[in-house]
Amino acid sequence: VLRRLLFMIPVVWGVSTFVFLIIHLIPGDPIDLMLGETATQVDRQTLRRQLGLDRPLWQQYTTFLQRLVQGDLSQSLHNKRPVRTLIAERLPATASLALAALCVSVGLALPLGVLAALRPRSWLDTGSMILALLGVSMPNFWLGPLLILVFSIQIGWLPVSGRGDGSLPYLILPAVTLGTGMMAVLTRMTRSSMMETLREDYIRTAAAKGLTTWAVVVKHALSNALIPLVTLIGLQGGALLAGAVITETIFAWPGLGELTVRAIQQRDYPVVQGCVLVIALTYVVMNMVTDILYAVVDPRIRFEA
């Protein structure tokens, strides 16, 4: 665990450096977006000097790293609010959306994958695999508007967009949109892992001892098939934050993804850097938690130095 924590330092530094360079090299000037085309050259130079954008890029990068080491993500170029505060305000909405999407994907994928493995080549197996194929094939930017068109506009069951009062109806469509892709991949992995486990000798031995089908499947087969599933859930769980950028934009969900897109459009360098840094940190932490969970799921696994 300590080694994993140490590995996070160069990863975070690399991500921070890459994002800093990319956001400064893309076309567009934040001064033009803030002042408009009618601003005078004097006003442009004054604002550029106040924001520190007149300094060479290496000096801006050095200042950025110094503040990052101190835990200071600087201030937004547009509203002068601390980036840390902006992220703290948006993070709960993104976390709730990611958690709901994870529950949707795992709650559907595990039963479908297990049932498909227990009844190979049956209509249930074929149906679950077709559903998984559809889930993989439908991108978020297409599935989201389709769900809005059907369940919000035509049927009128669910809200179109926004978070509203934070109640469940506002969360359903974004969570389904975000979790569908992960559900499809996890269903196929569950089926494959369960079918491989069900062929093992200890499964036949457990069945021969007179254990119920439920005990054989859940206690012996599923528990031993969880290692690849934990890996996939850990990796996809971190990727949910990245996928939330598109989903939050579609549903006007006031989370970290929507904040990132708006900051990119406004060329708000500190906000973009802070948001991407939080997403990268979450991804790295999820990977580390996944490694730790291996020992919980399978006590035979030990960490090697």
Taking only the tens place, the pLDDT of each residue in 205-243 is 878 887 777 778 877 787 777 777 777 777 777 777 767
Q: Work out the average pLDDT over 124-140.
A: 85
Domain count, the chain: 2
Residue 303 reports pLDDT greater than 60: no
Q: What distance separates the 2 farthest-apart alpha carbons in the chain?
A: 86
Helix (H, G, I), strand (E, B) or coil at 139: coil
- End-to-end Cα separation, the chain, in angstroms: 10
Task: Compute the mean pLDDT over every residue in the chain, rounded to the nearest whole number.
Answer: 81
77: in domain: no
Q: What's the pTM value of the predicted model, to 2 decimals?
A: 0.80
| Burial call 243-273: b when 16+ CB within 10 Å, e when fewer | bbbbbbbbbebbbbbbbbbebbebbbbbbbb
Do residue 110 and residue 225 come from a single domain?
A: yes
Look up the domain containing 291 and give its range: 98-297
Do residue 156 and residue 276 come from a single domain?
A: yes
239: in domain: yes
302: in domain: no
| Burial call 79-93: b when 16+ CB within 10 Å, e when fewer | eeeebbebbeebbeb
Give Cα 299 distance to the centre of its chain. 28
Residue 108 reports pLDDT greater than 60: yes
Do residue 60 and residue 117 come from a single domain?
A: no
d(CA 181, CA 178): 7
Structure tokens at 161: 């967009």
91: in domain: no
Closest C-alpha among 141, 99, 153 to residue 261: 141
d(CA 130, CA 185): 12
Do residue 200 and residue 66 come from a single domain?
A: no
